[in-house]
Amino acid sequence: MYVWLVLALLFAGLEALAVWKGWRRLELLTKPAVMVCLFLWVILGTGLQDSMLWFGLGILFSLAGDMLLLAPQDRMFIAGLVAFLLTHICYLLGFQEQLLHPRLWTLIVIFFILLNGIRLLRRITSAMHASRQAALVKPIILYGLVISLMLAAAMSTLSDPAWKAGSALLVSAGAFLFWASDLMLAWNKFVSPLKRGRLPIIVAYQLGQIALIAGVISQFG
């Protein structure tokens, strides 16, 4: 089954190369290929049983979001945002045990992530108002809160004795990279262009997705 992990990493590397070199056709091929490999890995490795159903659905929404955000000139940005919002909601449902039965560590993690998330959202939304993109402020705030909760839920596995240590580390690192990728994307789009453009966004996103899915398969597979 690890062949799908290897293929996902291979396609992720090729996508990073495509973004770096500006090879649009290669990016159009490799970006969705990563999610397809992860989805096949989930199906064949777990059969989409129990919590894995939510992670499988999350991957499909991610695939849809990837395709929508590949549209030129951000024409499908809102639709892509909705697709990824549904991704994070699915991942939250996959981690629902951590949120429904929070431990002290979970509450501390939620507090600090939301505290820093709100600070960053204020900076981003302030820039959005200044650039006359106020119509997107509420959707961005909602998205930011949901992904912050997803990150907190994933990191709470570190204190859950039911989770294997390696699996908890993978999902925590993956969720953090996913969160960081979205933060960089918003900063790049609304506040100030990143020095290396989309490359760090893509690398963090793909590695985050791969690590998160590898962790849940290790736990539930």
d(CA 151, CA 145): 10
Mean pLDDT of 85-95: 96
Flag the least confident range among 57-61, 144-148, 204-208. 144-148
Mean pLDDT of 68-96: 92
d(CA 133, CA 148): 22
Q: What is the pLDDT of residue 43?
A: 94
Write the DSSP assignment of 8-68 as a string of letters: HHHHHHHHHHHHHHT-HHHHHHHHHHHHHHHHHHHHHHHTT-TTHHHHHHHHHHHHHHHHH
Flag the least confident range among 2-16, 31-45, 67-81, 95-109. 95-109
d(CA 221, CA 216): 8
Please, what's the largest Cα pairwise distance for the chain? 49
Residue 157 carries which DSSP code?
G
Q: What is the pTM of this model?
A: 0.93
pLDDT band at residue 22, thresholds of 50, 70 and 90?
very high
- Per the model's pLDDT, the better-predicted residue between 74 and 168 turns out to be 168
Q: What is the pLDDT of residue 1?
A: 67
Flag the least confident range among 113-117, 186-190, 207-211. 113-117
Residue 105 carries which DSSP code?
H
d(CA 56, CA 43): 8
**Residue 41 CB partners (closer than 8 Å, separation 6+):** 1, 4, 5, 8, 213, 217
Q: Which two tokens stand for residue 169?
A: 């580390």
Helix axes 24-46, 52-69, angle to 10 degrees: 170
In the chain, what are the domain boundaries?
Answer: 2-220
pLDDT tens-digit series, residues 144-203: 989 998 998 999 899 888 999 999 999 999 999 999 999 999 999 888 888 877 999 999
> How many of the other CB atoms lie within 10 Å of CB of 68?
19
Q: What is the pLDDT of residue 79?
A: 95
pLDDT band at residue 105, thresholds of 50, 70 and 90?
confident
Has residue 62 got a pLDDT over 70? yes
